[in-house]
Structure 1
Amino acid sequence: MHSISLGFFSISATQLLMLGSLLLAAGVGHIVGKPKKVGVLDLLLGMTLAGLVVARIVFVAIWFPLYLASPLSMLDIRDGGFHMWAGVVTGLAFGAWRCWKRQELVAPLTAGLLAAFVVGDMAGASHISAMSKEADLPAYNLNTLDGKPTTLAKLAHGKPVIVNLWASWCPPCRREMPALAEAQRRHKDMVFIFVNQDTDVAAAKQFISDTHLVIDNVVLDPAGQIPQAVGSSALPTTLFYDGGKHMVDLHIGGFSIASFSDALDKFTETLKKNEHAK
């Protein structure tokens, strides 16, 4: 599974892995530092917070022009806009600085981070292997808004595909839809497919009508076949498939214009690398 849902709350497998790694690092650090009565949980939390703050600042700086239309959105971290390597470097630098001031932290922190890295790497590899069977474009029969049968592959026309799983009752789905609609208008080299999860077809039609969105390739999946096939019950979920209809990326949660632009850049770069590798 790519995500786990608890009522209206969803957490991705990546977030679970990060949380588990943090707890493991704290546990191993506690064991190693116990003889000297040294714990590293506070330090790990400080490293995580420092890393997240800098990762967000760097991401916003990179995409600053896209945030200008709505400056307060810079603070809305729900769009998933973080620069990973800036965060990692900052977190490690913060940890090194604290260890320099308190030498007794070096051994427990190092042991904790090494344990988290090794176990996290193994768990990540296992997750990727387990999910490989869900990596192909699902072949279920779906219906268009006017009731015509179709499939994702039929709509794709052999092009790279971006599949967005959404519902009219889902707030982050509603927030991100204008950004996705604009991207669909601009990127004709890719196919965008919006797979609606409403059990009431009228609700999906009403949402599109009320918001005056101009979007193509809206299909209905009231039985939730596609989320089950890809292993993600969270909404929204956005899936990126190459021209061979193999999943190359997945994003759980809503996008902003900036974070979706970043995801599109990474997707395009992946497509280029795959093309050169042939």
Structure 2
Amino acid sequence: MHSISLGFFAVSATHLLMLGSLLLAAGVGHIVGKPKKIGILDVLLEMTLAGLVAARIVFVAIWFPLYLASPLSMLDIRDGGFHTWAGVAAGLAFGAWRCWKRHELVAPLAIGLLAAFIVWDMAGASRIPAVSKDTELSAFSLNTLEGKATTLAALANGKPVIVNLWASWCPPCRREMPALAEAQRRHKDMVFIFVNQDTDIAAAKQFISDTHLDIDNVVLDPAGQIPRAVGSSALPTTLFYDGGKHMVDLHIGGFSIASLSDALDKFAGMMQKNAQIR
């Protein structure tokens, strides 16, 4: 399960696991530091904030030219644009600085972080959002906007595939669609498939017509069979398949031009590496 529904909201399982790990670290640290009345929750929160800020700054710096067209979008973290290792390094560096200032923090903070890391690793966080089982591209019977039956495999034709699950009523889906449409035009070595989740087919057609989007491979999945199969109820969700039947990555939430470019670069690198292995 890659996302969990909470009423009208869908929360990424990765984010919930991160929150749980943070609380676990704080709890273990509290137990270790209790004899000296030392708590580490404030330090953990500061480390998290320092890591997030650093991860965002580094990501924006890498993709700076793509943010220039809309500078305020640098502040819009909804695109998921973070440099993971920069964030980890900054968070740990901040924690080390706090420990240097207060030596009594070393034991509770180190043991708390170790406990959190063990649980994170055991829960398979390193494999999220990668998918642990294969999902056959041909397993889903879909229809085109014209009412013709098709499958993802037929549209993919053996190429690497990006499958975007979207709906016309979903604001992040609407925001990211122009970036995906542009990517479809630029990346002819990949196949982009837009799987609509509207129960009202007319709404999907109306959205495409109103926005004048020039996109290919729009198919309908009003029963939501693909989200159920991959374990993600959140929209938008984007799935990355290799040239066979294997899903190699999954992204929950909307893309910006920069975060989509980053994801496609990583996907292309993964495909190149797999080709060399074969």
TM (norm. structure 1) is: 0.97
What residue is the counterpart of 1:274 in the other structure? 274
Kindly state the Cα deviation for residue 134 of structure 1 after the two structures are TM-superposed.
4.9
Query: Residue 53 of structure 1 aligns to which amino acid in structure 2?
Result: V
Kindly state the Cα deviation for residue 128 of structure 1 after the two structures are TM-superposed.
6.3
Runs of 4+ in structure 1 displaced over 4 angstroms?
125-131
Kindly state the Cα deviation for residue 127 of structure 1 after the two structures are TM-superposed.
7.0
| Aligned ranges 1:180-199 → 2 under 5 Å | 180-199=180-199
- How many equivalent residue pairs? 278
Kindly state the Cα deviation for residue 135 of structure 1 after the two structures are TM-superposed.
4.5
| Aligned ranges 1:145-184 → 2 under 5 Å | 145-184=145-184
SS at match of 2:139: coil
TM (norm. structure 2) is: 0.97
Residues 209 and 203 of structure 1: CA distance in aligned 2, closer, same or farther (over 3 Å)? same
Query: Residue 40 of structure 1 aligns to which amino acid in structure 2?
Result: I
In 1, distance between residues paired with 2:152 and 2:5?
A: 25
Query: Residue 133 of structure 2 aligns to which amino acid in structure 1?
Result: K
What residue is the counterpart of 1:208 in the other structure? 208
SS at match of 1:4: strand
SS at match of 1:133: coil
In 2, distance between residues paired with 1:126 and 1:249?
A: 12
Root-mean-square deviation over aligned CA pairs: 1.6
What residue is the counterpart of 2:112 in the other structure? 112
What residue is the counterpart of 2:82 in the other structure? 82
For structure 2, the residue ranges without an aligned partner over 5 or more in a row are none
Query: Residue 2 of structure 1 aligns to which amino acid in structure 2?
Result: H
Kindly state the Cα deviation for residue 132 of structure 1 after the two structures are TM-superposed.
2.1
Of residues 5-14 and 160-169 in structure 1, the stretch that sits farther from structure 2 once superposed is 5-14
CA shift digits 1:115-141 (9 cap, x unpaired): 011111011169769952354436110
Aligned-pair identity (%): 85
| Aligned ranges 1:42-121 → 2 under 5 Å | 42-121=42-121
In 1, distance between residues paired with 2:130 and 2:68?
A: 41
CA shift digits 1:142-171 (9 cap, x unpaired): 000000000000100000000000000000
In 1, distance between residues paired with 2:130 and 2:220?
A: 28
CA shift digits 1:26-75 (9 cap, x unpaired): 11000000000001000000000000001101100110110011111000
| Aligned ranges 1:6-21 → 2 under 5 Å | 6-21=6-21
SS at match of 1:132: coil
The answer to whether the Cα contact below 8 Å between 1:161 and 1:245 also exists between their aligned partners in 2 is no
For structure 1, the residue ranges without an aligned partner over 5 or more in a row are none
CA shift digits 1:84-107 (9 cap, x unpaired): 011000000000000000001000
Query: Residue 187 of structure 1 aligns to which amino acid in structure 2?
Result: H
CA shift digits 1:172-225 (9 cap, x unpaired): 000000000000001010000000000000000000000000000000000000
| Aligned ranges 1:217-232 → 2 under 5 Å | 217-232=217-232
Answering whether residue 35 of structure 2 is matched by residue 39 of structure 1, we say no
